[in-house]
Copies of this chain bind each other. A is one copy, B any other.
Amino acid sequence: MVDAMMFSSPAGTQSALSIRLAHYLSLTVEEVAALEAMQGPRRRLIAGEVLIATDGAAESLFVVQQGWLHSSTRPRTGGRQILGFHYPGDLIGTESIAWARAATALTAVSDCIVTDVPKAALGELFAQHGRLAGLLYAVAAAEGVAMSDRLTAMGRMTAMQRLAMLLLDIMARLRVTAGGVIDSFDLPLTQADLGDALGLTKVHVNRTLRAMEAEGMIARTGRRVRICDEAALIAFSGFVDRHAVVATDWLPPRALGVAA
Residues of A within 8 A of B (CB): 71, 73, 75-81, 83, 94-100, 103-104, 119-120, 122-124, 126-128, 130-131, 133-134, 136-145, 147-158, 161, 196, 198-199, 238, 240, 242, 245-247, 249-252, 256-257, 259
Contacts and interface: CB of A to CB of B under 8 A. Distances in A.
Contacts of A144: 94-95, 140, 143-144, 147
Contact of A155 (B81, B124, B245, B259): B81
A1 to B, nearest CB: 21
Contacts of A238: 75-77
A98 B246 contact: yes
Nearest to A118: B250
Tallying the copies of this chain within the complex gives 2
A205 to B, nearest CB: 13
Contacts of A119: 250
A46 to B, nearest CB: 26
B138 A137 contact: no
Given A98-B247, A136-B137, A140-B144, A156 B75 contact: yes
Given A147-B148, A247-B99, A81 B128 contact: no
B122 A133 contact: no
Given A133-B134, A140-B141, A127 B257 contact: yes
